[in-house]
Structure 1
Amino acid sequence: MGCSHLVIQRDFAAFFLHFFYQSWMLYPENESTIVSWIWIGIGILFLTTAFIILLVTHYFEQIRKNKRKMIQLVRNAETECWESIHYLQERDRERLSEELHDNIISQLNIIRLNINTRNGKELNSDLKRSMQLVRELSHNLTPPDLNGIELSDFISDYLVQISKEVEVLYVNHTEQDILISGTIKLNLFRIVQELITNILKHAFATEITVLLRVSVKYLSLVVKDNGRGFPMEKYNKGIGMKNIQSRSRKINAVYKFKTKPEKGTRCIVFLTLNNTKI
């Protein structure tokens, strides 16, 4: 772009000089007119030169701006990359913490609470189950595949273990052929585990009731006990409550606690299901 303007300027200057040379030699009586044209030509040359300088300056300024933009884009990409790595690391740490607390520790608590009331064969079976959970977690932190398992059956199998320590009432109202994702099943089951673990450890309850209701549009889960209750301010600070909050967020569920001293505790978990029957 700059070269073409320089060529035009050169050709124009040559023409301008040739024109005024011929005019000066052939018409010397028009000296004042020729001088005026000379000044006009000089002005045009000056303006043309100034215009070309502005174009060249603008061109190189655009190059510098584009270079700065590229540098900033690279920096932003590096920042986003490191933020993504940090996010994935934190997510894996959170997941590991949840799995340890909600699954393995829950299983070990059952063994601890039943150690004086159950025979060696049953305890050995529970210990093997705990060891298997640890192995699964240490391999790749992959949660169990629940796509082929009904949520109600998954909860029922767990409550069978609990019923050996405390009286458990399980009420299941699940409509047939309702599709529930593995993510929802896993997180709801972990919430049940956390709630019952806290009941066994802190509430000194003799009865636990679990109510599961599943329809096409919604799912509700209620876990309640007849224990001594607890101050919510104290419970909110524990890792168990944080895990319940985290798992509820993952499945877009809402939950509510109701507890009174010596009158037990009730937890309700509710979420909508955006599907139809299979």
Structure 2
Amino acid sequence: MQRTIEQQGTDQREAGPESTVDIAVTAPPESPVRGAAGALTVGLTALLALIAPACLAQAAGSGDPGPVSRWSLLASQLGYGLQSALVLMAFVLGLLIWQRRAQRHISWLLALMPGWVLMVGLAPLTPWPAAVAVVLAPWLLWCGVHYLMRRLRRRDRRLHRALLAQAVLFPIALLLPFPTARIAGFALWWLGAQLLIAMAWHVWHLWQDMFLPTLEERYPRADFVISCVLIGLGALAVVAAWTLPGSGLAGILAPLSLIGLGLHRVREFSRALSQSELAVLQGELRLQERIAELERHFDQVAEAKLEQVTERERKRIAADLHDDLGAKLLTIVHTSESDRISTLAREALEEMRLSVRGLTGKPVVLLDALGDWRAEVVSRLAQANILAEWKSPAEDIEHTFPARAYVQTTRILRESVSNIIKHSGATHCVISCSAQDGYFSVVIQDNGQGIPLELEGRLDKGHGMASMKARAKQMHGQCLVESGPGWGTVIRLTIPL
């Protein structure tokens, strides 16, 4: 069994340099401070790979030390397991730093983990365990204090230089004519006291950060409790090393504290990743809303521009009709010797003026429109010997008609009057107008012979009915025709105001 373990240790020693070079090649570019911590971590981890088999062999071959020291054996075995977990946690933290450069302060915790394993595992294998502790402990304190400070985004150059000087002076103190055990005992109390002060300072600032004014800067209460528990384990490890140096309790509490701090950092990284993904999703939603808003704005601008161009073109066409065609029709009206030609020219001139009025786009007051329609309808029906009865709205109305709606309504009324004169044979016609509930209605009813049954299925194909309904539909209204032989015809026009 002893030979097998030693042979495994020899194999791992042979494979050790290759693994070290492999890690160094795949490491990303680092800053000077982070590079130093990373190099220290790689070296400590490689050295741990060399001494771990020997440590296990010593634990396996130690035998039963007796009932008194069973707790020490159990503590040492548990310590070995925690040290292995520390190495794995250091590897995880290394991957985390690799993926997120903003977490560079974790490099100090990363260096602390294999450093602790190296100090605890190497000390029993050397003839000078106290000397090893004196050499390595100041550097571990240096890493721990820097981690606690960088965790709060604070730096102190004077403290940095003092800790470096301390880490250099303690190994030199071993050359003095003092017993190594006394120097190790002094280092244990002195460095432990410094670590406790750093922990208390860290907890105090975390407590203050919980009461910052803004919610984004405020340290979460749950994280504060977890940090206090983990740092408290580290403080208990220092106290156990002072009061119970041979119990191995410090070798259990310290790795538990470091593993907990590492898991806490991984938890914070996972939470930050979730928050960043949520922020990205919210940003995409805001971007989509902004794009939709820009598209709506672009459509509105394009529609307004098109309306401007259309309005300008309408005015140009209206001006051309009025100046050119209107002048020629007016000349025909005044110079024609034929009454028929003069009448047709006058009607064409009226139609042209109506078209020009619709093209100019000026709105028409509804009362003025009713006056124009009444004058024209009553005059035309009177010329055909048809008694016209016009009923205007009872109340005064203040609505206006868009120019296009005024033109279309005028043409519908003209077409209706033309049908009454040409086809109905009526002697009486009632025209009722009303404006209520946002709609304008005109009802034209005559006492003529009505529409014959054979033409009832072809109302949309003759007598101008199709054009009347199409014009009403353009105004988002409707035109209904009710007729029957012997009881006349009723035309109902309804359009929104």
TM-score by length of 2: 0.38
In structure 1, the partner of 2:384 is 166
Report if the CA contact (8 A) 1:192-1:223 is conserved: no
Contact kept, 8 Å, 2:381 with 2:388, in 1: the verdict is no
Distance 2:435 2:272 in 1: 72
Cα distance, 1:41 vs structure 2 = 0.7
Question: What number of residue pairs does the alignment pair up?
Answer: 242
Structure 2 residue 148 is matched with structure 1 residue 11: yes
Mapped contact 2:450–2:487 kept (Cα < 8 A): yes
| Structure 1 residue 244 displacement after superposition | 2.1
Structure 1: how far apart are the matches of 2:467 and 2:104?
A: 74
Counterpart Cα distance in 2 of 1:215 and 1:136: 23
* Matches for 1:181-260 after TM superposition, within 5 Å: 181-183=399-401, 187=405, 190-191=408-409, 193-198=411-416, 200=418, 204-207=423-426, 209-212=429-432, 214=434, 221-225=442-446, 226=448, 229=451, 230-231=455-456, 234-235=459-460, 238-247=466-475, 249=477, 256-260=480-484
Q: Is the 8 A contact 1:171 1:211 kept in 2?
A: yes
Unpaired runs of 5+ in structure 1? 97-116, 274-278
Kindly provide the amino acid, as one letter, of the partner of residue 389 in structure 2: V
What is aligned with 2:280? 64
Counterpart Cα distance in 2 of 1:144 and 1:272: 15
* Equivalent position to 1:155, from 364, 368, 373: 373
In the superposition, relative to structure 1, how do residues 177 and 85 fare at CA in structure 2: closer, same or farther (>3 Å)? same
Give the C-alpha shift of residue 37 in structure 1. Answer: 1.0
State the identity as a percent: 10
Q: Partner of 1:268 in structure 2?
A: 492
Aligned position for 1:100: none
Moved more, 184-193 or 206-215: 184-193
Q: CA deviation at 1:259?
A: 1.7
Cα pair distance change 1:78/1:167, threshold 3 Å: farther
CA distance in structure 2 between the partners assigned to 1:76 and 1:6 by the alignment: 42
For 2:491 and 2:367, the matched residues in 1 are separated by: 27
Matches within 5 A, 1:29-178: 29-31=246-248, 33-81=249-297, 119-138=340-359, 140=360, 142-146=361-365, 149=368, 151=370, 153-160=371-378, 162-163=380-381, 166-174=384-392, 178=396
Change in 2 beyond 3 A, CA 1:193/1:18: closer
Do 1:167 and 1:206's aligned partners in 2 also have CA atoms closer than 8 Å? no
Bigger mean CA offset, 223-232 vs 213-222:
213-222
* Residue matched to 2:46: none
Change (3 A) 1:263 1:178: same
Pair 271,198 (structure 1): closer, same or farther in 2 beyond 3 Å: closer
For the residues of structure 1 that align with 2:396 and 2:273, how far apart are their CA atoms? Answer: 69
Contact 1:213 1:221 in 2 (8 A): yes
Equivalent residues of 2:476, 2:496 under 8 A apart: no
Amino acid across the alignment from 2:481: F
On the 8 A contact 1:228/1:263 being kept in 2, the answer is: yes
Alpha-carbon distance between aligned partners in 2 of 1:147 and 1:228, rounded to the nearest angstrom: 31
Q: 1:181-205: CA deviations, max 9, x gaps?
A: 1239985884463154156369623
What residue identity is the alignment partner of 1:28?
P
Q: In structure 2, do the counterparts of structure 1 residues 161 and 83 end up closer, same or farther at CA, with 3 Å as the change threshold?
A: farther
Q: Distance in 2 between matches of 1:154 and 1:248?
A: 23
Name stretches of at least 5 consecutive residues in structure 2 with no aligned partner. Answer: 1-100, 110-146, 152-194, 200-230, 315-337
Whether the 8 Å CA contact 1:248–1:255 is kept in 2: the answer is no
Whole-angstrom distance in 2 between the partners of 1:60 and 1:67? 10
**Partners in 1 of 2:341 and 2:294 — Cα distance?**
57
**Residues 256 and 191 (structure 1 numbering): CA distance in 2 closer, same or farther, change over 3 Å?**
same
Q: Is the 8 A contact 2:366 2:400 kept in 1?
A: yes
Q: CA RMSD in A?
A: 4.9
The answer as to whether partners of 2:364 and 2:406 remain within 8 angstroms in 1 is no
Seen in structure 2, the aligned counterparts of structure 1 residues 39 and 168 have a Cα distance that, compared at 3 Å, is farther
Instruction: Please state which structure has a larger fraction of its residues in strand.
Output: 1
AA matched with 2:460 = Y
Aligned in 2, Cα 1:267/1:130: closer, same or farther, shift over 3 Å? closer
Letter in 2 for 1:130: E
